[in-house]
Amino acid sequence: MDLMINIAAIDRHRVALSCALALFSGALLSQTGCGGRTEARLDDYLEELEFDTPLETVKEIPLGKFKIHAAVHQQDASQGSATPIWVQIRFSLYAVVAPNDESAVLRVMKRHQGTINDTVMGICRSSSLDDLDDPRLSTLKTRLTDDLRLVLGEKVLRQILADDYSLEAI
């Protein structure tokens, strides 16, 4: 009889412990997983975007026309090595800024045009053929935006646009 009572007591403790563990893990999931926390982060991000701003309220400032020769590497699947290919990259580059930041960007460009040119050429020359051949130029524009923000201003530069882009083997 004592053995049965002890087993029943142990089973009650197991059930209570299981219930407490389930409640605790449920509380954790509602805080960090299963979409609860992710939705909050997405909402925060969407609030930061400027959906109400009309397109007419941005200025596109030309940063220059570029014609860059580079030896880029193309992965050779059969040999497992990268072979250099000489290419010519041509494009016009624009900085997208708010209208009230235009004069500040123009002043910075006047002083640091050489740095801007060196940054653009360095990024293009260090990019892979896949990055340069991407129709959307996603990686290239991201790298350009990140590095040019350091020159033009973190909060000033909204986006980088590339126009008349061409990539040719030479």
Looking at residue 84, its pLDDT comes to 87
Q: Is the CB of residue 67 less than 8 Å from the CB of residue 97?
A: no
Residues in the chain: 170
Amino acid of residue 42:
L
**Cα distances (angstroms) measured from residue 95 to each of 8, 39, 52, 83, 138:** 73, 31, 20, 33, 16
- 96-143 pLDDT, tens digit per residue, is 999 999 999 999 999 999 999 999 999 999 999 999 999 999 999 999
